[in-house]
Structure 1
């Protein structure tokens, strides 16, 4: 591990986590650049960073986890960037394993959490569904779609900054972006202990955001893989309705016509979305 590595840590009111995390990082990666992005904290986050002699960049108010990651990516000077959370769930002892895997020829390596690392049954079920959906979309095993613990090659990561959202779903976006661009991605199993402090996620608010991950997965990689099955379903419903109405009243009903039209429109929307998605990745595929 050399100075070409930058460790980027987004933090919002994570003084307790940083108090133990930063010394541990210093012991394991003494030559790495550590950049903490203070996302509008109201606790001692900045003071803890200065006590540990790490670089800290403060947002004037909270802009979101994804926005903090983008700020860190722009400021980091290393050829390799490693992103991790400040809440104690990502352990510095796993950093050498991610970097070793990255050096094996990958462009991004993700720390994949096991079932025992998920915070609650609802989170485990949701992440399991996201992983299976993403695996189907990209044709490769996606062990953890939403993990924020990852090592990447900085030059390639920055190509996707304009796609990254400011909220919590940035890991989904960057993962699908790398797969779409044909960059090799690997997963290293990790154990994530219970976080230190209070989570910033809210079931009611962020549950909707996580549902949107499903649509983001589709639109970022191959929209037709989402739209075509839906279009086919409406077509089959239209055929079924037409067959039933023909056998019972010998007529072609308005409902059958509506289902057929919906099928065609959904397919065309998916086709246009596919072309727009290809334009999004034009620069990264050059």
Structure 2
């Protein structure tokens, strides 16, 4: 298989000086694409000097946008995505490729707790993993890892779903599960990043990750969100009606509102389920 390696990079000149030589030693025949996301340092010059194919943006479009641009440019049957800041060890790539050859369509480098930048981020990622596992019905070991190998043709099917910012890993993982493309995980270590601090803002991007999960959940299996919500409104309506009937002997407007909301939410869920089926049709 021809392999393309895509590295989104924003002001990662120092990280590339360590990552690209190690990548060339591990995969000497691979196509290496560095997507320069509007860097203000010499990221593009360093990448070009070290033999990478450079795709530069005139301004920062976001990590997800860099991933999409790199995926469109890649010519390999398999695309490996990894960070340019030195956190991901290129020597681990053959492990990901071996799982692809075993029949999987996406293999994710799953970090353990020691691979998280902080306790807060580790707890947040555990929450995201559990929520995604419930939505998909599969064990999601690392929803937000940017170190992964995918079959290029399968990945490009979902480019229109990927956000321009964070987090493309969340969207692509759940989309692969939804489309019944086998996903596997390989345990990997994460080294300390080189250069500037992480571009992720824990609070703002944490909320954004959560919104992305719910957005993709509605594209993945809407009834798993709408049905419990509808049931909650229904139970509240029945409970409130029982209370007012016993205490006042009447059916109140609030009971009618809650029961109506339950029906409306359930019907919206059914319509969303049908739209989801159309979204994932390969010939759509």
Which TM-score bucket, shorter chain as reference? over 0.9
Q: CA deviation at 1:203?
A: 3.0
Q: Structure 1 residues 264-273 or 72-81, which shifts more?
A: 264-273
Other structure's SS at 1:9 match: strand
Asked if the contact 2:33/2:70 (under 8 Å) is kept, the reply is yes
Answering whether residue 212 of structure 2 is matched by residue 208 of structure 1, we say no
Provide the rounded CA distance (Å) in 2 between the counterparts of 1:202 and 1:143.
22
TM-score by length of 2: 0.96
2:219 and 2:23 map into 1 onto residues whose CA distance is 34
Helix, strand or coil at the partner of 1:133: helix
| Structure 1 residues 3-53: Cα deviation after superposition (integer angstroms, max 9, x where no partner) | x10000010111111110000001111111100000000011011112101
Shift of 1:204: 3.9
Distance in 1, matches of 2:213 and 2:183, equals 20
* Residue 23 (structure 2) aligns with: 25
Alignment of structure 1 residues 8-19 onto 2, 5 Å: 8-19=6-17
Q: Which consecutive segments of 4 or more residues in structure 1 shift more than 3 A?
A: none
265-274 or 99-108: which moved more? 265-274
Take 2:254 and 2:117, find their aligned partners in 1: how far apart are those partners? 45
Aligned to 1:223: 222
Q: In structure 1, what is the Cα distance between the partners aligned to 2:69 and 2:229?
A: 38
Task: Report what 1:193 is aligned to.
Answer: 191
CA deviation after TM superposition for structure 1 residue 193, in Å: 2.2
**Post-superposition shift, 1:205?**
2.7
What is the aligned partner in structure 2 of residue 241 from structure 1?
240
- Rounded Cα–Cα distance in structure 1 between residues aligned with 2:191 and 2:124: 19
Answer whether contact 2:171 2:213 (CA < 8 A) is retained: no
CA contact (8 A) 1:108 1:152 kept: yes
Contact between 2:170 and 2:213, CA under 8 Å: does it hold in 1?
no
State the secondary structure of the residue aligned to 1:34: strand
Unaligned runs of 5+ in 2: none
DSSP 3-state at the match of 1:188: strand
Give SS of 1:268's match: helix
Distance (whole Å) between structure 2 residues aligned to residue 214 and residue 6 of structure 1 = 28
Aligned to 1:73: 71
The DSSP-based 3-state class of the residue aligned with 1:57 is strand
- TM-score between both structures, scaled by the size of structure 1: 0.96
Stretches of structure 1 that go unaligned for 5 or more consecutive residues are none
State the 1:186 CA deviation: 0.3
Distance in 1 (CA, whole Å) between partners of 2:140 and 2:45 is: 38
